[in-house]
């Protein structure tokens, strides 16, 4: 049975599933033009398979802030991120604001929003954090896909619903498309000042 806090599968399994779809990382990195020296915020990193990929790209002059609300996930994350000193892990709930973080070049929110109580509040927190040049990459499992991998179709977030929500909060959707592993992405920029 699906639960938003992922307690129904355990973090080993979450990590296995991340590794299964890690080929999405290069696409997300390319879409955001992620480059050495950039500042990244990775919201809901879980065991950190994707966080590692971002940290490798930004390198030593860059920084990745991994914002995770589950202390158990953070234990996994710390193990997975050994030897990477350009990642800062923070225990925090992104629905309640993102504080003490510099304005990022890129924000990743991948497969997180359908685990939150209020996707709108997460988007509002991001809106307060970013500047108009920041790129925000949201990826989710598509409820219009066939449901062979990932969460049950009825627990997924519709791309059109997220598109409207993001626009209401003050973002422009620069591009959106379906991807492998039953995913779609939205690439956002902050429009309202
Ligand atoms: C399915 S995992 C996704 C991990 C990774 N982003 C990926 O693409 O594989 C969802 C993660 O988001 C975290 N999460 C959910 N709601 C959150 C919130 N409001 N603030 C921070 N982390 C959150 C969960 O604890 C979990 O580790």
The pLDDT confidence band at residue 5, using thresholds 50, 70 and 90, is: confident
| pLDDT class of 192 with cuts at 50, 70, 90 | low
4/20 Cα distance (integer angstroms): 20
Query: Is any ligand 1 atom within 6 A of the Cβ of residue 150?
Result: no
Q: What is the DSSP string of 165-177?
A: HHHHHTEEEEEEE
pLDDT digits (tens, 9 = 90+) for 10-23: 888 999 999 999 99
Is 45 touching ligand 1 by the criterion CB < 6 Å? yes
Decide if pLDDT at 83 tops 80: no
* 24 CA → ligand 1 middle, Å: 16
Q: 82-119 burial by CB neighbour count: b if 16+ within 10 A, else e?
A: eeeebbebbebbbbeebeebeebbbbbbbbbbbbbeeb
Q: Tell me what pLDDT residue 193 has.
A: 65
**DSSP notation for 132-143:** TT-EEEEEEE-T
pLDDT at 8: 73
Phi, psi of 9 (to 5 degrees): -120, -30
Domain boundaries, the chain: 11-190
Question: pLDDT-derived band of residue 82, with 50, 70 and 90 as boundaries?
Answer: confident
Q: Best of 46, 94, 152 to mutate for ligand 1, by most ligand atoms within 8 A of CB?
A: 46
3-state helix, strand, coil in the chain (%, to 5): 35, 25, 40
**Closest to 131 (Cα-Cα) out of 172, 80, 189:** 189
CB 67 near ligand 1, within 6 Å: yes
Expressed in angstroms and rounded, the spacing between residue 46 Cα and the centre of ligand 1 is: 5
Distance in angstroms (rounded) separating the CA atoms of residues 31 and 99 = 26
Sequence-ordered alpha helix ranges (H) in 21-83: 24-31, 49-58, 71-80
User: 11-190 maps to which CATH number?
Assistant: 3.40.50.150
Residue 159 beta carbon below 6 angstroms from any ligand 1 atom = no
Q: Whose Cα sits closest to atom 24 in ligand 1?
A: 44
How far is it, in rounded angstroms, from Cα 142 to Cα 135? 21
Is the C-beta atom of 73 inside 6 A of ligand 1?
yes
Q: What are the pLDDT digits (tens) for 21-60? A: 999 999 999 999 999 999 999 999 999 999 999 999 999 9
Q: Would the CB of 110 count as within 6 Å of ligand 1?
A: yes
CA 42 centroid distance within chain: 5
Whether ligand 1 lies within 6 angstroms of the CB of 115 is answered as: yes
d(CA 96, CA 98): 7
Confidence at residue 160, expressed as pLDDT on a 0 to 100 scale: 98
Query: For the segment 84-110, what is each residue's pLDDT rounded down to a tens digit?
Result: 899 999 999 999 999 999 999 999 999
**Which pLDDT score is estimated for 2?**
75
User: At residue 114, does pLDDT exceed 70?
Assistant: yes
| Dihedral angle sign, alpha carbons of residues 50, 54, 55, 56 | positive
Output the CA torsion sign for 3, 27, 34, 83.
positive
Tens digit of pLDDT for each residue in 136-187? 999 999 999 999 999 999 999 999 999 999 999 999 999 999 999 999 999 9
CB 58 within 8 A of CB 38: yes
How many angstroms separate the alpha carbon of residue 33 from the centre of ligand 1? 23
Residue nearest (by alpha carbon) to ligand 1 atom 8: 110
Mean pLDDT of 52-73: 96
Q: Please state the rounded mean pLDDT for residues 108-115.
A: 97
């Amino acid at each position: 049975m699906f639960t938003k806090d992922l307690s129904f599968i355990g973090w080993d399994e979450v990590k296995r599933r991340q590794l299964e779809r890690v080929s999405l990382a290069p696409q997300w990195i390319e879409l955001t033009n992620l480059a050495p020296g950039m500042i990244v915020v990775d919201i809901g990193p879980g065991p950190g398979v994707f966080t590692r990929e971002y940290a490798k790209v930004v390198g030593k002059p860059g920084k990745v802030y991994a914002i995770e609300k589950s202390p158990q996930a953070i234990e996994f994350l710390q193990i997975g991120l050994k030897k990477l000193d350009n990642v800062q892990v923070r225990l925090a709930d992104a629905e309640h604001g993102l504080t003490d973080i510099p304005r990022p070049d890129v924000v990743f929110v991948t497969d997180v929003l359908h685990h939150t109580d209020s996707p709108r509040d997460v988007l509002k927190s991001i809106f307060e954090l970013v500047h108009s040049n920041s790129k925000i990459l949201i990826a989710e499992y598509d409820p219009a896909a066939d449901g062979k991998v990932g969460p049950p179709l009825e627990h997924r977030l519709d791309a059109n619903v997220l598109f409207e929500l993001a626009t209401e909060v003050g973002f422009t959707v620069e591009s959106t498309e379906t991807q492998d592993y039953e995913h779609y992405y939205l690439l956002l920029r902050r429009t309202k000042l």
